[in-house]
Structure 1
Amino acid sequence: MLRILTALALFLSPALTAVAAEDWQPYANARFGYVLDIPPGFELQSEGDNGDGASFHANDNGATLSVFGSTLLDGDFETDVNDRIGYEREGQWRIVYSRVTSAWASFSGSRGEDVFYTRAVALCDGSAAYFRLQYRKSRLTSFDGVISRMAEALRPSEGCQHPPVAAVSNEAPN
């Protein structure tokens, strides 16, 4: 039995390495000063005319990704995030998870056969960066690793002196 497991591990090792080495593409936003890694398979669909962000689409699974910056009213990050959670509810999304701190926030929801996950981080100069990933419920577990990596990667650009963003919790996004 040990030989079979060892052979299987040796056989799968190159495949696992290839998956892990897939090319994530960096996205940097100069207007708001944030960076994020875009997962393999997501293609740029459009960029905001005002330079606040971009939208991406994955043709193989229909997922959509929006990345954007926001100027905060009175520099209040938590209010901005809570307002966005309210907008999702107005769009008939059922919020199933939310955690809001002064430096970062995560929230997710479901509606019909779709789910979304949003991550936000406070940036310098009274602004914030967000990403919102929407995909089919049937793909829930296949996006767990993608979401974890993206949540860790969303951060202020170099030179921002905002307090460090706390590490991503291991809680399930949905």
Structure 2
Amino acid sequence: MVLARRLAVLGAVALAAAPAFADTLTYRNARFGTSLTFPAEVFSDQMEAPANGDGMTWLSDDGASLAVYASHNALDLSPREFADQASQGQGEFEVTYRRVADDWVVLSGYEDGKIFYYRFEFGADDVIHAMLLKYPPTLRDKYDPLTGKLGSSLEGP
């Protein structure tokens, strides 16, 4: 009973600490069914959609970007194999946090002078749903608290 009470208190504290989105937008990809809810007031500049319809990217006024997309797991990689491959980025790329589960991967670190937070969900029909958040290190206080809420809203069939 004590453990249940502690967990309830921790859950309430975590919810209270999570930033609230005043004006949200839920993007749903018609091709793969990938969806993500994010603060529209932060990511207000929608880029042109790619021709293949695999996702969308939004920019903020302060230099952050948010991309949501999906792709087929053409190489039939496990989450661990995918994380190993994704951890070998191009250019100035350093993974400082990595978490791999049965059906998802989170990578975070630095890429080309920006902080990145990537979440990949392994869905049905060998589809990988992805969320990529990048922002300048000077904006860490603003964007670090958003990562968990954004990542937990990523869904796909």
Q: Is the TM value for this pair above 0.5? A: yes
- CA deviation after TM superposition for structure 1 residue 131, in Å: 0.9
Q: Quick one: structure 1 residues 48 and 82, their matched pair in 2 at CA, closer, same or farther if it must change by over 3 Å?
A: farther
- CA deviation after TM superposition for structure 1 residue 144, in Å: 2.2
- CA deviation after TM superposition for structure 1 residue 77, in Å: 4.0
Give the aligned residue type for 1:71: H
List structure 1 segments (4+ residues) > 4 angstroms apart after TM superposition: none
Task: Say if 2:21 and 2:39, in contact at 8 Å, map to a contact too.
Answer: no
Task: Say if 1:33 and 1:123, in contact at 8 Å, map to a contact too.
Answer: no
Distance 1:116 1:148 in 2: 13
- CA deviation after TM superposition for structure 1 residue 113, in Å: 3.9
Distance 1:21 1:97 in 2: 25
Matched, 1:127 2:119: no
Task: Say if 1:77 and 1:128, in contact at 8 Å, map to a contact too.
Answer: no
Identity among equivalent positions (%) equals 26
- What stretches of structure 2 of length at least 5 have no aligned partner? 1-18
Distance 1:112 1:47 in 2: 24
For normalisation by structure 2, the TM-score amounts to: 0.78
Task: Say if 1:96 and 1:108, in contact at 8 Å, map to a contact too.
Answer: yes
Matched, 1:44 2:42: no
Correspondence 1:2-81 to 2 at 5 A:
20-40=20-40, 41-42=42-43, 43-59=45-61, 61-78=62-79, 79-81=81-83
Name the structure 1 match of 2:84.
82
Q: How many residues align structurally?
A: 136
Residues 31-50 of structure 1 deviation map (CA, whole Å, 9 limit, x = unaligned): 11221012232121121210
- CA deviation after TM superposition for structure 1 residue 102, in Å: 2.3
For normalisation by structure 1, the TM-score amounts to: 0.71
- CA deviation after TM superposition for structure 1 residue 72, in Å: 0.3
Name the structure 2 match of 1:14.
none
Query: Once superposed, what is the RMSD of the aligned Cα atoms?
Result: 1.8
